Amino acid sequence: MGAVPVLTATASASASASAKGNAGTAATTTAVVDPAARRQTIRGFGGMTHAAWIGDLTAAQRDTAFGTGEGRLGLSVLRLPVPENRADWSRDVATAKRAAELGATVFASPWNPPAHMVETFVHGSQTNARRLRHDMYGAYARHLNDFNAFLRNHGVNLYGISVQNEPDYAHDWTWWTPGELVRFLRENAGSLGTRVIAPESFNYTKTISDPILNDPAALANVDIIGTHLYGTPFRNFPYPLFKQKGAGKELWMTEVYYPDSTSSADLWPQALDVAEHLHHAMVDAEFQAYVWWYIRRSYGLLREDGRISKRGACMAHFARFVRPGYVRIEATATPAPNVYVSAFQGGSSIVVVATNKTTSPVSQQFTLKHSTASRISSWLTDASRNVAFQGTTGMSNGSFTVTLPARSVTTFVTA
């Protein structure tokens, strides 16, 4: 077993100084959480199901993925494919219905239009590249609407639908240029009967989404700017143009696995990279949704046997406790090198997620400004534990000090 987190009420910064004497712990600056400094509203944390490619989740796996109790992931977003063939539309309905019953937001992304709407062309060295025929834009919008209606008739109300999955990385599916996306959004997306998501670039290439933000008519018909984060460095996470022109729109990260798809999701401490990635996605990029690729996979949130993986546990530190409608609030993001802190508020509850990627325990003081909370509970994931409840302790004047074990992620919730 690793070091157990030690929670103590803290009346002043002097208590933090005294904690420096704890054997084997490093000291940090105080992490200040300010509920008055409100940032983005969180839609949720989720994952992808794709029955045609990897088989459907079982009933038990659906409950593990979307349930919120102990031993559950707490996912609140589900992404579905939009199959090009109507005969395949029912494949993911069972999982979508159960996720919706458990309160999840459901959205869908297409890889290809129906074959009769597509033409081939030369794209670099690819001589059989595919694109949507320009005279089929209206028919394609009706196809997306029909899928939306099909799900609604089967008890699932889509929150939104994407125009195209990864239009800029489409060697095996359908290419779209930025100009084609803008044209479809201007001329056809207004007819879609649910929220519209675009452009879902595979690595947050801003030259794919900038033209949408810079075209008022196209932007008017988009509700969610969506992207993927494959290979995207943290320095590219902020999006100043979205902040400038995206008022009233949502910003979602709609697909990623991290750091790779070749390692076991239980490899530790590599799985701790997921917690850091989530931190930067929430704090630097200010995404409102964060969606993993396959929910169940060797590198996924659930292992193939349906048990929560180490990567899944790191996701659960956000997903289970930061619920839809919570608002990210300002917090000292890096009170020490390789220590990452984010904070969220839902009603009177404040959630703080702290990731310690160092190889030593860290003594960390937290101060919650303007807080009247008197107690705080915590959950821990480290090499030997997965989102393990660590108990509840008192707070003094909105402050507490904790020893964060080496290579761990801890979620604190006020009571």
Instruction: Give the model confidence (pLDDT) of 173-204 as tens digits.
Output: 999 999 999 999 999 999 999 999 999 999 99
Hey, what amino acid is at 267?
L
User: Collapsing DSSP states into helix, strand and coil, what is residue 223?
Assistant: coil
Per-residue confidence (pLDDT) for residue 415, from 0 to 100: 83
Residues with Cβ within 8 Å of residue 58, at least 6 apart in sequence: 306
| Digit-coded pLDDT (tens) for 327-367 | 999 999 999 999 999 999 999 999 999 999 999 999 999 99
- Of the CA atoms within 13 Å of residue 47, those in its CB half-sphere come to 30
The predicted pLDDT at position 27 comes to: 61
What pLDDT does 28 receive? Answer: 76
Is 187 annotated as catalytic?
Answer: no
* Beta-carbon contacts of residue 101 (< 8 Å; ≥ 6 apart): none
224: left (phi over 0), alpha (psi -120 to 50) or beta: beta
| pLDDT of amino acid 335 | 97
| Rounded CA separation 15/366 (Å) | 11
Q: What pLDDT is recorded for position 105?
A: 98
Cα 62 → chain centroid? 18
Strand, coil or helix: 28? coil
Length of the chain measured in residues: 415
Q: What's the CA gap between 300 and 287, in Å, rounded?
A: 21
DSSP string, 119-153: EEEEETTEEEEEEE-GGGHHHHHHHHHHHHHHHHH
Q: With residue 279 as reference, give the H or E element that holds it.
A: helix 272-283
Ranges 20-34, 75-89, 154-168, 354-368: which has the least confidence = 20-34
Counting beta carbons within 10 angstroms of the beta carbon of residue 310, is it exposed (0 to 12), middle (13 to 18) or buried (19 or more)?
Answer: buried
Q: pLDDT value at position 343?
A: 98
**Residue type present at position 153:** N
DSSP-derived secondary structure letter, 234? G
How much is the average pLDDT of 238-261? Answer: 98
Cβ neighbors of 14 (< 8 A, separation 6 or more) are none
DSSP reduced 3-state for 261: coil
Query: Per-residue pLDDT for 56 more than 90?
Result: yes
Percent of the chain with pLDDT over 90: 92
Q: Pairing between strand 375-381 and 408-414?
A: antiparallel
* pLDDT score for 24: 54
**Whether pLDDT at 117 is above 50:** yes
Average pLDDT, the chain: 94
Residue 259: burial class (beta carbons within 10 Å; 0-12, 13-18, 19+): middle
Q: Classify 217 as helix, strand or coil.
A: helix
State yes or no: pLDDT of 19 exceeds 70.
Answer: no
User: Burial of 383 by CB count in 10 Å (0-12 exposed, 13-18 middle, 19+ buried)?
Assistant: middle
pLDDT in tens, 125-180: 999 999 999 999 999 999 999 999 999 999 999 999 999 999 999 999 999 999 99
Which distant-in-sequence residues (6+ apart) come within 8 Å of 165 by Cβ? Answer: 109, 110, 111, 173, 200, 255
- Select from 402, 321, 413 the least CA-distant residue to 30: 402
Find out whether 357 and 338 touch, Cβ atoms under 8 Å. Answer: yes
- Do residues 166 and 190 lie in contact, with contact meaning Cβ atoms separated by under 8 Å? no
Q: Is the pLDDT of residue 11 over 90?
A: no
Band of pLDDT at residue 25, cut at 50, 70 and 90: low
pLDDT at 43: 98
Q: Are 16 and 363 in contact (CB under 8 A)?
A: yes
The single residue listed with the structure tokens 């595919």 is: 130
pLDDT score of 2 more than 80: no
Rounded mean pLDDT of 35-59? 98
Beta strands in 42-83 (DSSP E): 44-48, 77-82
Collapsing DSSP to helix, strand or coil, 15 comes out as: helix
**Strands 26-27 and 31-41, bridge-based pairing:** unpaired
Q: How far is CA 175 from the centre of its chain?
A: 25
pLDDT at 389: 98
Catalytic residue chosen out of the listed positions 84, 166, 250, 276: 166
Q: 200, 250, 255, 276: which one is catalytic?
A: 255
